[in-house]
Structures are given as C-alpha cells and as structure tokens.
Structure 1
Amino acid sequence: MSALFFAVLSEAKPWITKLQAKPISHLGKFRIFQKENHYIIISGTGKLSAALAVSEFAHILSKPDRNQMKIWNLGIAGSNSSELSLGDFLWIHKITDAGTKRDFYPDRIEKSKFTKETTLTTFDRPITKNENSDRFLFLSQEELKGIQLIDMEGSGFFEAASLYFPLENISLGKLVSDHLEGTFCKAETVESMMAEKMEGLFDEWTSPLPWTGIDSIETFDWPLVESFIQNLRLTETMKHDLKKSIRFFRLRNPNTSLPFPEESLKIHLKSKSDLKEFFEQWRESLHV
C-alpha cells in the first residue's frame, strides 16, 4: 500500500498516467486518485493545504491500513546551492519550518536508485535571490546561508503525516526546478522533469514496506525510556514524538544500544526551554 502527495497537478500527472489511477468519489475537498491499493493526492500549494490533505486522506483509511501505508511527498523545490543542477533529485533527511523554526526528520531512503540527500526548508511564500521580483519574498545571501532546498509544503506534510502514520513509513523527495531566480516554472516543464525521474522511482514507491508489522520497542526499549524520563515533565505530545524517534533508530540499528543523554544533565533542567532543548537534542541523536 502506498500514497503519494503532490502540491500541483503538473507534478502528479506523469504518476497518475503511469499508475492508470482514477479519481475516487468522496466527501472531502482534495483530489484523490486510486489504482488498487495505491493512491495519489493533490493538496494544492502551501504547508496548511498539505497538512489538511494528509488529514483528510488518513481519515478514509482504517488504522491497520495506515500502519502498512508507505506515504511519500514528492515535488519541485528551489535550490540555493550552485552544486545542484536543474533536474537533480534528492531525498530529504531534515526539514526546517522557516516560520516556527521547528525541525523534522524524515526517514532516510537507504535502498534507492537515487542516492543524494539533503535538507529542506519550508517557507510560507516563494523565495528569490532577485531583489527586483515583486511576487516572491527576497532573501539575501546571508539570510539564505546554510539553506539547501526550499519548498512550501514539506513541513506541513511531514508534521501532519507523523500524527497518523508510523514515522518510518514517511519519506520526502524533491526535484530541483530553479535556483531562486524569482520566476515560476511552466507546468509543462515541471511535468517533463517529473516524468523523467518517475521512471526510476515508480517501482520503489509501489513496493511493500520491508518492515511492515515490526514494532518491538514497546517491549524492549520503551520501559527503559520510561524509567529515564519518570522525573521529567514531558508532555504527551513529546512522549509521542520520542517514541517515533526511538522506533526510527531501532529499525536502522537493530543491535545497537539505545542512546540516552547523560543522567547528570537532568539536574540542570530549570525551565521549559531547558527541557525542550534537552528533548530536541536527544531526538536528534536518534536520527544520526
């Protein structure tokens, strides 16, 4: 079972044609195409639209189906790196939401014909390096320092998907469409670029998840974690996110001891911001 989210039709069209998918009739807002147990969803642009589309799709599935569903977001992205060429395809291993400054860590695709990976920053508006553009938000080279790829959906898609689907089932891949010149790509150009990369990705997307049904952390890892965090005031959401990160680590490192922060660090947690920083650093260590 697999689901594929796109922002616009030009990105999705080659996949819909290849899959021979048909639109399904449902009461929701978003266009959903289906062929057997494979789905293609078009969300529209922006992280809010992406999040809403994920939520709507998740609610037409049963919980067991969600656990077995491979869920991807593919699409175009602007590049701030001169080392990346137009048409390059890269998997995303870290997303930063430019508005909230939150970081998210998608699953790393370990067995793919496409081996490049990078970071993605999601903005609320299109970004450009061209000072003379009035339809894009201008950012200086200093403001763009450290930013690799830019889109408008990634963080919204991932944050919503992680609420409904196992973390290890979720992946994002982006295709370089521009170098932030401040112009919109033509639909036919996007369609052509996506069609070219689809040939190498289609079988990977439609293949079953290799770890479907595997989840041993409840028995082995989580009791140790509960003992470690018993005096920390973690919210239920934080515990939920931590468990997903631990599952990610265990699937990638089945025979490695779970990394814990130094016990002595806990006595220095005097405020909510201290706890949040401690928590985020721990989660980040689980995604290395």
Structure 2
Amino acid sequence: MSALFFAVLSEAKPWLELLQAKPLANSRKFRIFQKDSHSIIISGTGKLPMALAVSEYAHSLSKEERNQMKVWNLGIAGSNNNELLLGDFSWIHKITEATTHKDFYPDRILTSHFTRETNLTTFDRPITKEQNINRFLSLTKEELDGVSLVDMEGSGFFEAASLYFPLENIAVGKVVSDHLEGKFCQLEDVEKMMEKVAKTLFEEWISPLPWARTDPIETMDWPQVENFVQNLRLTETMKHDLKKSIRFFRLRNPSSPIPFPDESAKANLKSKTDLKTYLETWRNSLHV
C-alpha cells in the first residue's frame, strides 16, 4: 500500500502514467488517482492545501491501513546550492518551516537507489535571490545561509502525515528545478525531470514496506518488553509509542538485543513525570 502526494499535476503526470491510475469519482476536494492499493494525490500549491490533502486522505483509511501505508511527498524544489544540478534528486533529512522556524526530521531512506540527502526549507511564497521580482520573495545571501532546497509544501506534508502515519513510513524527496533565478518552470520541463526520477523510483514506491507483511517484534521482542514494564503502569499510548520505538530499533538492528534501561532505576519512579522521563530516555536510546 502506497500513497504519493504532489502539489501539481505536472509533477504527478509521469507517475500517473506508470501506475496507469484512474481518478476517483468521489475524491472530494482533492484529486485522487488510484490503482489497486496505490494512490496518487494532488493537493494544490502551498503547505496548507498539502496538509489538508494528507488529512482528508488519512481519514479515508483505517488505522491498520495507515500502519501499512508507505507515504511519500515528491516534487520540484529551488536550490540554493549550485553543486546540485537541474534534475538532481535528493531525499530530505531535515525540513524547516520558514515562518515558525520549526524543524522536522524525516527518517532516512536506507535502501534507495538515490543516496543523496539534504535539507529543505518551506516558505509561503516562491523564493528568489534576485531583487524586486513580482510574486517572488527576494532573500539575501545571508538570509539563505544554511538553506539547501526550498519549496512550499514540505513542512505541511510532514507535519500532517506524522499525525496519522508511523514516522518510519513517511519520506520526502525533491528534484532541483531551478537555482532561485525568479522564473517559474515550464510544465514540460517539470514533467521531464519527474519522468526521469519516476523511472528509477517507481518500483521502490510500489514495493511493500519491509514491516508491512509481518511484525516479528510481537513474538520476538514485545514479550520481553511487556515483562520488563509490567509494574510500571504504562498507559496504552505509552505502550503504543514504546512499541513503535522497539520496531524502529529492530528494523535497523536485526541481530542486536533490545537495549533495556537500568532495572534498579525503576524503584526511583515516584511520579507520572518520572515515568515519562524514564520512558522518553529509553525510547531515545532505541533511535540512536
């Protein structure tokens, strides 16, 4: 099961052709195309439309379907890095919301054909290095310091998707479309760039998540964990979050034993705050 979110049709068109997807008649506000268990959603430009599209789509799924769904956002992005050429593809390992300065950290794609990673900053308007260009926000070299790629959807996608889908199911990738010259890309150029990427990434996108078919931690790891926490009075939410972290660790460390916190420290847990801190420290150790 896979869902792929684009801002505009020109980004999605090569993927629609490869998937041979058909539009859903009842796709409500946003355009949804589907074939079998794979969906392509076109949100419109901007972080808010993207977040709303993710939310609407997520509400059409059951909890089990969300847990098994691979959820990606792909599209074009302007580059402040001249070493990245037009058409170059990068996975995003950090997204910054320009307005709030809030940072998000997507999981890294460990087995992709594409290995380059970089950061992405999401703005409310198209960005340019040039001055006084209509419809573009002009930024100085100092204001762009540390910025690699820019777009208008990434933070909206990731913040919304992380509310509904496991973090390890979510990925963001961008294709360099310009170097912030203050010009809008031609639709045919966008389609060509995305077509080149789609030919390589399509099979990766439609392939099942490694953990979607079986969940070995239910029989291998979780019984040990439940035994360890049986006297801690964890809430169901705490157990759910801990299980996600155990799964995260096991996927990246197939042969390693689960790291448990110090048994003796449990005796010092006097309050709910102590318990939350204890659990958070443990979960952090599972994500190293």
Same fold (TM over 0.5): yes
Count of residue correspondences: 270
Normalised by the length of structure 1, the TM-score is: 0.81
Long gaps (5+) in structure 2: 262-279
Structure 1 position 198 matched with structure 2 position 198: yes
Structure 1 position 140 matched with structure 2 position 134: no
Residues 51, 159 of structure 1: 8 Å contact kept? yes
In the alignment, the residues of structure 1 paired with residue 284 and residue 47 of structure 2 have an alpha-carbon distance, to the nearest angstrom, of 23
In the alignment, the residues of structure 1 paired with residue 83 and residue 231 of structure 2 have an alpha-carbon distance, to the nearest angstrom, of 46
In the alignment, the residues of structure 2 paired with residue 175 and residue 110 of structure 1 have an alpha-carbon distance, to the nearest angstrom, of 19
Residues 167, 244 of structure 1: 8 Å contact kept? no
Greater CA drift, 106-115 or 15-24: 106-115
* Residue pairs, 1:137-286, within 5 angstroms: 137-212=137-212, 213-214=214-215, 216=217, 247-254=247-254, 255=256
User: Who is 1:42 aligned against?
Assistant: 42
User: Who is 2:268 aligned against?
Assistant: none
Deviation at 1:103, TM superposition (A): 1.5
In the alignment, the residues of structure 1 paired with residue 124 and residue 242 of structure 2 have an alpha-carbon distance, to the nearest angstrom, of 27
Counterpart secondary structure, 1:33: strand
Residues 76, 177 of structure 2: 8 Å contact kept? yes
Greater CA drift, 28-37 or 118-127: 118-127
Deviation at 1:12, TM superposition (A): 0.3
Normalised by the length of structure 2, the TM-score is: 0.81
In the alignment, the residues of structure 2 paired with residue 246 and residue 105 of structure 1 have an alpha-carbon distance, to the nearest angstrom, of 19
Greater CA drift, 48-57 or 101-110: 101-110
Q: Could you give the per-residue CA deviations for residues 199-251 of structure 1, whole angstroms, max 9, x where no partner exists?
A: 101111111111124374866669989999x9xxxxx8x99888756654453
One-letter amino acid of the structure 1 residue matched with residue 146 of structure 2 = G
Structure 1 position 93 matched with structure 2 position 116: no
In the alignment, the residues of structure 1 paired with residue 79 and residue 230 of structure 2 have an alpha-carbon distance, to the nearest angstrom, of 41
**Backbone CA RMSD of aligned residues:** 3.3
Deviation at 1:258, TM superposition (A): 5.2
User: Who is 1:111 aligned against?
Assistant: 111
Residues 45, 153 of structure 2: 8 Å contact kept? yes
Identity of aligned residues (%): 68
Greater CA drift, 197-206 or 56-65: 56-65
One-letter amino acid of the structure 2 residue matched with residue 136 of structure 1 = F
Residues 106, 172 of structure 1: 8 Å contact kept? yes
Greater CA drift, 189-198 or 23-32: 23-32
Counterpart secondary structure, 1:71: strand
User: Who is 2:15 aligned against?
Assistant: 15
User: Who is 1:60 aligned against?
Assistant: 60
In the alignment, the residues of structure 1 paired with residue 41 and residue 181 of structure 2 have an alpha-carbon distance, to the nearest angstrom, of 28
Counterpart secondary structure, 1:198: helix
Deviation at 1:94, TM superposition (A): 1.3
From the superposition, tell whether residues 163 and 134 of structure 1 become closer, same or farther in structure 2 (CA, over 3 Å).
Answer: same
Residues 10, 190 of structure 2: 8 Å contact kept? yes
In the alignment, the residues of structure 2 paired with residue 179 and residue 243 of structure 1 have an alpha-carbon distance, to the nearest angstrom, of 43
In the alignment, the residues of structure 1 paired with residue 96 and residue 86 of structure 2 have an alpha-carbon distance, to the nearest angstrom, of 22
User: Who is 2:270 aligned against?
Assistant: none
Deviation at 1:134, TM superposition (A): 2.5
Q: Could you give the per-residue CA deviations for residues 132-185 of structure 1, whole angstroms, max 9, x where no partner exists?
A: 312111111111111111111111111111111111111111000011111111
Residues 90, 118 of structure 1: 8 Å contact kept? yes
User: Who is 1:268 aligned against?
Assistant: none
In the alignment, the residues of structure 1 paired with residue 198 and residue 239 of structure 2 have an alpha-carbon distance, to the nearest angstrom, of 37
Counterpart secondary structure, 1:195: helix
Counterpart secondary structure, 1:107: coil
Deviation at 1:65, TM superposition (A): 1.2
Tell me which structure has the larger Cα radius of gyration. Answer: 2
